[in-house]
Chain A
Amino acid sequence: MSDATERAESVEEKRRAQHEIWVSGTEERMPFAASTNEGSQEMLPRDQDPALDIQRGIAVDDDFVTPERVVSAERQIINMGPQHPSTHGVLRLQMELDGETVTRVKPIIGYLHTGMEKTAETLSYAQGPTNVTRMDYLSPFANELTFSLTVEQLLGIDVPPRADAIRVLMTELNRVASHLLSSATMGMDVGAISMMIYGWREREICLDFFEKVTGLRMNHNYIRPGGVAAELPDGWEDDVTNLIKVVNAGVDEYEELLNGNPIFLDRTLGVGVLTPEEIKQFGITGPVARASGVDWDLRKAHPYCGIERYTFDVPLGKHGDVFDRYKVRIDEIRESLRIAEQVIVTIPSGDYRTTDPKVTPPPRARIGESMEALIHHFKLFTEGVNVPAGTAYQAVEGPRGELGCYIISKGGARPWRMRWRAPSFAVVQALPVMMTDSLIADVIATLASTDPVLGDVDR
């Protein structure tokens, strides 16, 4: 190392050491340089990097036949994130660049770790949906449904058919809202900013309906163990019919805007390819898997909430590139709207939650008449729902893929351990395979097309 660089480094060190930050909750101050260094999570030197084999195509198929490139001395490592407009959350990517070519990628996660699985151990089963709905904040209904189905499996109860239909309706509309946002941000990331405006225009209609039903635009806490929180409001059929009409028209507009657009096609065709073998090796599910032609949809493979009663297709892609992922999502919006259409016609009448007194509190009028009703009411509101000991796993097809919840109960009103299977996590770990040997501009398009939600990855 020359004297000049040594001097420059010591100056830089001094400058960084001057910045100090507070350690939260204490009077202690931490030198700044030490506080943002993530140690062994960061990119290692080439000869020590165990991930290099995977990225180079030894463990999985390499999409590109790369000749032994003359490695220039000007290789640089840059950070993208954790604060970056295109990372869709607080994902941090360390990239080693050779000119404009990405030679190595290392995703660093954990910037949104909220300790939700631990918090769940202190919350009762009735409070649980409040917690889990904030995990994947773009698919709150799917999170609540997964949790509720798992708890119901432990309890061994069934919910009334009307509750099932409401659950299907809400989760499918949630898929629509999520895919609308995904298409909107993806359009923005590859340069079509008008797509952002259009996507949000239709999403607002979905959010308005959610607000009418649940009282909140996001984080609804609507689907709960035993059924749903409330009956659908009067006139919901008209709202959903209008929503289906408007969103379908909007989706047609997106396709008109993007499908033949030469800039969009140049940025997306053949970019960020995943083969079906890679999909299986990394455990990727959802639209990303289906875009590679892997025909796996839990709504068909392991149906829940009676979703097998509705007619719908599973859109598949062929090439597994960015464009196919966009197209699969657009088609899925249409299929979900088809399901919503059928729900309006076929929804059965009846209760919107189970009448099991061990789960649902008795009606107010019964408490004055019946001693047993009073006891049930008291027990439910002091202890909560008592769940027998056991373990249960349940997965649903969320907007991002297989969203699973595993609960260990040792009896009592709180889970002993809760663990989630996050679809975004599988996608994030496959990012190096998609991005290595591609251009740096393609990194943005690839990341946008996989649609990770960091709340889902980190929890």
Chain B
Amino acid sequence: MAGVSSEPGFLLTTIEKGANWARTRSMWPATFGLACCAIEMMGTGAAHNDLARFGMEVFRASPRQADLMIVAGRVSQKMAPVLRQVYDQMAEPKWVLSMGACASTGGMFNNYALVQGVDAVVPVDIYIPGCPPGPQSLMHGILSLHEKIMSGEIQRSTGLV
């Protein structure tokens, strides 16, 4: 190709920036669909909205291969221990996205059955409002998480909750 020098080039960056860049560009979500929000999460992954643009189309069935848990839907008292188990099985570094009103605060169901906010069980990085949040909202949440990762340090505190 014309204009390309045969001299070997170099690139200056910090290890933090390089590592964080790599982490945001192929962040694999764990499938943790619970209710209505899970349908919108599937819709975000489908052709129309195309989550593959962010290197995120591979929803992993195994938590061991996943970096991001999108808690999509209402978390019942019975489901909470299961959710925690899946979170514990994910390898560090890991992030949690609370999708929708129910996962974030219990939503409209202030009753005996639901956990009033998933942050009682796992540490949450980003909350997405909406009932259910549309694909655009979910993508906005994901991009906000990318910004958060890019501005943070490599090491993440493993202090739970």
| The residue from B31, B61, B76 contacting A111, defined by CB atoms under 8 A apart | B76
What CA separation (Å) do A30 and B78 show in the bound complex?
A: 13
Contact at B47–A200, with CB atoms within 8 Å?
yes
What CA separation (Å) do A314 and B160 show in the bound complex?
A: 55
Contact at B116–A138, with CB atoms within 8 Å?
no
Contact at A114–B86, with CB atoms within 8 Å?
no
Contact at B76–A137, with CB atoms within 8 Å?
no
What CA separation (Å) do A426 and B3 show in the bound complex?
A: 70
Contact at A24–B115, with CB atoms within 8 Å?
yes
Min CB distance B14 to A, Å, is 36
| The residue from A25, A85, A138, A217 contacting B120, defined by CB atoms under 8 A apart | A25
Which B residues touch A35, using CB under 8 A? 81
| The residue from B31, B43, B85, B121 contacting A24, defined by CB atoms under 8 A apart | B121
Smallest Cβ-Cβ distance to A110: which chain B residue: B78
Contact at B46–A197, with CB atoms within 8 Å?
yes
Min CB distance A208 to B, Å, is 9
Contact at A130–B108, with CB atoms within 8 Å?
yes
Which A residues touch B76, using CB under 8 A? 110-114, 458
Tell me if A84 is interfacial: C-beta within 8 Å of chain B.
Answer: yes
What CA separation (Å) do A374 and B61 show in the bound complex?
A: 58
Which A residues touch B83, using CB under 8 A? 83
What CA separation (Å) do A384 and B38 show in the bound complex?
A: 33
The range of chain B's interface size is 35 or more
What CA separation (Å) do A36 and B114 show in the bound complex?
A: 16
| The residue from A36, A196, A197 contacting B85, defined by CB atoms under 8 A apart | A36
| The residue from A30, A38, A113 contacting B113, defined by CB atoms under 8 A apart | A113
Min CB distance A205 to B, Å, is 9
| The residue from A25, A115, A204 contacting B111, defined by CB atoms under 8 A apart | A115
What CA separation (Å) do A249 and B39 show in the bound complex?
A: 24
Which B residues touch A201, using CB under 8 A? 46-48
Which A residues touch B40, using CB under 8 A? 217-218
Min CB distance A187 to B, Å, is 12
Contact at B81–A116, with CB atoms within 8 Å?
no
Tell me if A181 is interfacial: C-beta within 8 Å of chain B.
Answer: yes
Min CB distance B106 to A, Å, is 10
Which A residues touch B132, using CB under 8 A? 217-219
Give me the 8 closest cross-chain CB pairs, A-B, nearest first. Answer: A200-B46, A115-B113, A35-B81, A137-B36, A115-B111, A204-B48, A21-B84, A85-B61
What 5 additional pairs, Cβ within 8 angstroms, besides A89-B34, A115-B111?
Answer: A25-B116, A32-B81, A111-B78, A204-B48, A218-B40
Please name 30 pairs of A and B residues whose Cβ atoms are closer than 8 Å in the assembled complex, sorted by A. A19-B88, A21-B121, A24-B77, A24-B120, A25-B116, A32-B81, A82-B82, A83-B31, A85-B31, A89-B34, A90-B79, A111-B82, A114-B35, A115-B111, A115-B113, A118-B113, A119-B108, A119-B109, A119-B111, A134-B35, A134-B36, A134-B108, A137-B35, A181-B39, A203-B43, A204-B43, A207-B43, A218-B40, A219-B36, A219-B131
